[in-house]
Amino acid sequence: MRAFLILLFVVYSTTTYAQPKRLLLLGDSLSAAYNMQEQQGWVYLTQQWLDTQQLPLTIINASISGETSAGGLARLPALLEQHQPDYVLIELGGNDGLRGFAVAQLEQNLTQLIKLSQATGAKVLLMQIRIPPNLGPRYTRQFESLYPALAERYQLSLWPFFMEQIALNEDLMLPDGIHPNREAQPLIKQQMKRWFAQLVDD
């Protein structure tokens, strides 16, 4: 009987007090609740859903409006040391593309982001980024093809760009035509929650 109670306590302790996995989201304004309260953004809404479903995953949102791949690279070492994440989701490059930065420089920065994260033992997730075709088809093609190429090279999970359908609906966009509005945030959460849930199942 005593052995049974000890076993029951061990099982209860490991299931009840297991620490949730930590996911560091390194992104830009698309993930930083731009022009709205943090509680209205898709990241906060997704965390609420994870908590409601009792899925042991904590999203650490380190996204900053206007962030470039170079800016993210400068901040990453301190973030990794502070949070020691199990996963790093990279949602960067959109501002590089909008400003016409060289794709080769973007590739170098993303590569360093990946390697720094992997060096800590974190699993890296890369989000596909798409940009308006303002800079011509050649630049757009080179830019957008970089993400699957890096995912293949470093054996990463490539997550789909959550803005792909949202951006086509004016009712879901701010007047600048770049950022999703408040009405879009629950729809982005609906897209993203299955990807986050998969991490818990791994």
Active site residues: 29, 176, 179
Place of tokens 């390194």: 26
Q: Are the C-beta atoms of 97 and 131 separated by less than 8 Å?
A: yes
Q: Are the C-beta atoms of 41 and 31 separated by less than 8 Å?
A: yes
Helix, strand, coil shares of the chain, percent, nearest 5, are 55, 15, 30
Long-range pairs for 113-119 at CB < 8 Å and ≥24 separation? 113/26, 113/69, 113/72, 113/73, 113/76, 113/88, 114/90, 114/150, 114/154, 114/156, 116/73, 116/76, 116/77, 116/80, 117/76, 117/80, 117/85, 117/88, 117/90, 118/154
Q: Are the C-beta atoms of 128 and 152 separated by less than 8 Å?
A: no
Element (H, E) at 25: strand 21-27
Structure tokens given for 118? 């992997």
